[in-house]
Structure 1
């Protein structure tokens, strides 16, 4: 009985200590980052942190040590500051956190940066960061060599056998729940991304996948390597519902130059990342989706109307549904849909303009579905009430599938780099020709916008602006097929391609292609082995496998 009481007392005392330590960490943090009497409070916070470091070293995190270095910078003690900065590099904290030292150095270590030791410390930290990058890239390469990226089809000389071998592939490696990856943006620069696999992920079974594109791309920086912070903060509910619904989450990084909205240099990064991870993660090719907030939601919309072939559907929260790099061709939404989450106090895109867009989409038979939440500003994800909207997005996502072989397509473009939708591709434009009557610009006028005045109060002003810009002339194609017969109508297009799949036609019978009422092609389709392999390696898509390309000059 005495032993029992002693054990109980020890548990109570230990629990009390645990609560005290947790409270003391909070107090230390508040002192270090105090906005009044900053130097004196920084010293007090530092001393409390140092006591905790001695008493409970196992509870001291990377960020606690970071705070001690930050405090030393405040009271201008370089020796102490570098002591703790070196701890961050030398001790076994998570390597993924290292780059934040330099991300915040200008503001947090402004005095330490003036010290001679800063250059020595920076060189040491960058060596460790470089080693960590190499480690992550090497790990990715190993995974790719164990998955679809290493599939050897050289021995398959028959195109039909190759087609079925690709469709039947399922040999993927086991992976940790957190995957860090890289892609090349150009010859000298790479980008990185973070993948969160749900606990129920099975490498033998294809999984749904959702990209989350961040906002504020003008203010982002691409870090030295990805980290799990991409799934925190405003993205917290995505992590929760992806886990519940067995959905893989992918978080790309971006910056002002390379992103999914401004300019075209980074527009292809989402599809490049998808191509990369398909080589070692078992993805359901017909269940890949894109979402985002603000600039990220605009990026999701841009993919919908410029390059949707790899995706099943698109979502966005507080979206500006507009293409910044060319024309916004709304009728391109004919084969995919956009699930929009809007708020009535949003300055980014006027709520009334969004209502007009919903009506216009309905009139045109397009899939633009808006879900309005009243009483919230542009930064809706910050609020707990946004959870419902994200939960409903995942509910919608579970029921959706891509159809790469639709019998009817419409596609319009002013840039042939984005001229393909599923089995139809516009290869060349002839914008000197007049438009066909059915090829009409779709636009509307915005009459009011919301803005914040100098007192940070939300106001409404009257405007008269066109919703979309059309800086270049476009070409368009309407196409359908049935019983091996393709019929196309074109406007301002001088060359196009039809991609053939056994899912679309009877491979034992000739196909006929009529363009503007004229028979332009009639021949039995083939399984072109070299074309299948070359085209497959552009996407690593195991379901939309094209066995032949028919290219026509008009």
Structure 2
């Protein structure tokens, strides 16, 4: 059956008298259909018929959908087409779906299996195919407009300082014709997904904007959407993101993931968010030091995973009902020292127990990590559904507005177990040496979880005893601790074979020699000069106007 966007929202717009009676009748009929008790389908269809006859001006797409499905299930083809035809001909239904999707999407053949051999179905499908092609052509036109930009000359033959300044002030951006854009994203040669970009109402390409990326949950049960619909993403559970993004002029981004390609359970999809950020930077005037990730449930775990594995592009991370754990490798908790994380937890959450959140907070205090946990008592895992969640969004957006990334932090602590994630800010291309002996200071931090909340046979949430570790460490890892001050870099490594230091004039005095000590031995003692080709290629790779590298130094340990 068609995925329905939180049906109770329909009733927020109830009028009085007739409209209220119509809505009550429709709600009753839909409840019958949703129970999937076919013995009552005739009763449901009669309720639909009577309500439609009495209140013809009140009919919306969701009512037509349910009425057509129940009529088709009863093999009442005339009634089914009576309701399905106007639904299919809608440009956009009240849930934001294009009308043609009711005939062509994957659920349609099951919903309308009794209609598939009817001539009217062939006719309806033929029109739907034309409408779909027009819809996607319009998306392509809008996408092309979204990525339009002006030409800005960046040439490696320019004087070095001039090129550096040109990159820093790079602004090829143009005004946008719309507020919402559904953008396609290629995953591989056969698979695509999409993301929605929601701009501030008066987007100005001369102004730099804060950007917040929201990662959805339930990735195991989600599908890759070929297009994203603003009406579905900006309301409901996300309504407070929309509200406060409007107040503070924040760009919102909503990507789509599934079981195979996502930000939590699979490295096959972990590239999605960094790739989106690079695309956005080619089209929108984004503040490179104010890009953030938030999420709920699996999305919150995804946000935490980017903090642990790939935080360079981001200023801070947030999670609602988070399970703070990396599923694709080790959870190296000291990596949180490079950024920040704010968690919004509840005391009735089956996904991650309150006692575990308390233990994590204590560990973060020991580390002096920039970490906060705000506990909301009396709420289940689906906390964002409730109006009482609004204070959490006030906290989140206050942090978003006031926080900036430090692109040239003077100290970095980084641990990883996959060379794909061996980069953090000015330390890049770090490679593992798993045959090396681990140093004594290279230890894994962990804690025990003794109790969890689970649903029993009566669907009641009860506390159960468990005995598990919070984090897993399935592979051997490498660790590097690096800092710099007054042109002197001091670096410690454990199980690392090589790494690169990227240099910015914001970090050192280019007129003086740079000294680099690795494991207390000096490896470098000379000046660093601009390398224009490297600087330009580096910018083209990451499109970062704040974290600009003018040269790099490679070392084998």
Question: TM-score higher than 0.5 here?
Answer: yes
* Change in CA separation of 1:113 and 1:495 when aligned onto 2, cut-off 3 Å: farther
CA distance in 2, matches of 1:84, 1:422: 57
Deviation at 1:104, TM superposition (A): 4.1
Is 1:404 aligned to residue 407 of structure 2?
A: yes
Deviation at 1:79, TM superposition (A): 4.2
Please say if residues 350 and 450 of structure 1, whose CA atoms lie closer than 8 Å, have aligned partners that are also in contact.
yes
Deviation at 1:442, TM superposition (A): 0.8
1:229-262 deviation line (CA, Å, top 9, x unaligned): 1222211111111112221111111111111001
* Change in CA separation of 1:455 and 1:93 when aligned onto 2, cut-off 3 Å: closer
Residue of structure 2 in register with 1:153 after alignment? 154
CA distance in 2, matches of 1:410, 1:210: 25
Deviation at 1:132, TM superposition (A): 2.4
* Change in CA separation of 1:466 and 1:49 when aligned onto 2, cut-off 3 Å: same
Is 1:413 aligned to residue 416 of structure 2?
A: yes
Aligned counterpart in structure 1 of residue 215 of structure 2, from 213, 216, 240: 213
Residue of structure 1 in register with 2:163 after alignment? 162
Q: Which runs of 5+ in 1 are unaligned?
A: 1-16
1:81-120 deviation line (CA, Å, top 9, x unaligned): 3454444444543685343652543664343356565466
Report the RMSD for the aligned CA atoms in angstroms: 2.5
1:177-196 maps to which residues of 2 (within 5 A)? 177-196=179-198
1:263-278 maps to which residues of 2 (within 5 A)? 263-278=266-281
CA distance in 2, matches of 1:134, 1:161: 42
Is 1:311 aligned to residue 308 of structure 2?
A: no
Residue of structure 1 in register with 2:257 after alignment? 254
Is 1:291 aligned to residue 291 of structure 2?
A: no
Please say if residues 500 and 547 of structure 1, whose CA atoms lie closer than 8 Å, have aligned partners that are also in contact.
yes
CA distance in 1, matches of 2:219, 2:315: 24
Please say if residues 129 and 224 of structure 1, whose CA atoms lie closer than 8 Å, have aligned partners that are also in contact.
no
CA distance in 1, matches of 2:251, 2:349: 30
Is 1:353 aligned to residue 356 of structure 2?
A: yes
1:174-219 deviation line (CA, Å, top 9, x unaligned): 2222122122111222210112122243221111111111111101
* Larger displacement relative to structure 2 (431-440 or 323-332): 431-440
* Larger displacement relative to structure 2 (467-476 or 61-70): 61-70
SS of the residue corresponding to residue 41 of structure 1 reads helix
CA distance in 2, matches of 1:256, 1:122: 30
1:318-337 maps to which residues of 2 (within 5 A)? 318-337=321-340
1:40-89 deviation line (CA, Å, top 9, x unaligned): 33134135336655xx4xx6544454345334324423344345444444
Please say if residues 26 and 51 of structure 2, whose CA atoms lie closer than 8 Å, have aligned partners that are also in contact.
no
Aligned counterpart in structure 2 of residue 230 of structure 1, from 226, 230, 233: 233
Please say if residues 96 and 226 of structure 1, whose CA atoms lie closer than 8 Å, have aligned partners that are also in contact.
no
TM-score norm. by structure 1 comes to: 0.89
Please say if residues 91 and 98 of structure 2, whose CA atoms lie closer than 8 Å, have aligned partners that are also in contact.
no
SS of the residue corresponding to residue 496 of structure 1 reads strand
Residue of structure 2 in register with 1:13 after alignment? none
Please say if residues 26 and 47 of structure 2, whose CA atoms lie closer than 8 Å, have aligned partners that are also in contact.
no
* Larger displacement relative to structure 2 (510-519 or 434-443): 510-519
CA distance in 1, matches of 2:59, 2:469: 56
Deviation at 1:130, TM superposition (A): 4.0
TM-score norm. by structure 2 comes to: 0.89
Residue of structure 1 in register with 2:343 after alignment? 340
Please say if residues 192 and 224 of structure 2, whose CA atoms lie closer than 8 Å, have aligned partners that are also in contact.
no
Aligned counterpart in structure 2 of residue 500 of structure 1, from 498, 503, 525: 503
* Change in CA separation of 1:445 and 1:182 when aligned onto 2, cut-off 3 Å: same
SS of the residue corresponding to residue 354 of structure 1 reads helix
SS of the residue corresponding to residue 542 of structure 2 reads coil
* Change in CA separation of 1:120 and 1:469 when aligned onto 2, cut-off 3 Å: farther
CA distance in 2, matches of 1:305, 1:39: 55
CA distance in 2, matches of 1:103, 1:209: 33
* Larger displacement relative to structure 2 (86-95 or 509-518): 86-95
CA distance in 2, matches of 1:307, 1:509: 32
Is 1:22 aligned to residue 19 of structure 2?
A: yes
* Larger displacement relative to structure 2 (25-34 or 206-215): 25-34
CA distance in 2, matches of 1:356, 1:481: 33
SS of the residue corresponding to residue 279 of structure 1 reads helix
Please say if residues 42 and 74 of structure 2, whose CA atoms lie closer than 8 Å, have aligned partners that are also in contact.
yes
Deviation at 1:154, TM superposition (A): 4.4
Deviation at 1:280, TM superposition (A): 1.4
Please say if residues 305 and 326 of structure 2, whose CA atoms lie closer than 8 Å, have aligned partners that are also in contact.
yes
Residue of structure 2 in register with 1:387 after alignment? 390
Deviation at 1:357, TM superposition (A): 0.8
CA distance in 2, matches of 1:492, 1:509: 32
* Larger displacement relative to structure 2 (355-364 or 31-40): 31-40
1:408-435 deviation line (CA, Å, top 9, x unaligned): 1111100111111110124311111111
Q: Which runs of 5+ in 2 are unaligned?
A: 1-13
Count residues in correspondence: 532
Residue of structure 2 in register with 1:6 after alignment? none
Please say if residues 515 and 526 of structure 2, whose CA atoms lie closer than 8 Å, have aligned partners that are also in contact.
yes
* Change in CA separation of 1:131 and 1:92 when aligned onto 2, cut-off 3 Å: closer
Residue of structure 2 in register with 1:73 after alignment? 72
* Larger displacement relative to structure 2 (302-311 or 93-102): 93-102
* Larger displacement relative to structure 2 (410-419 or 421-430): 421-430
SS of the residue corresponding to residue 148 of structure 2 reads helix
CA distance in 2, matches of 1:69, 1:159: 67
* Change in CA separation of 1:65 and 1:160 when aligned onto 2, cut-off 3 Å: farther
Residue of structure 1 in register with 2:381 after alignment? 378
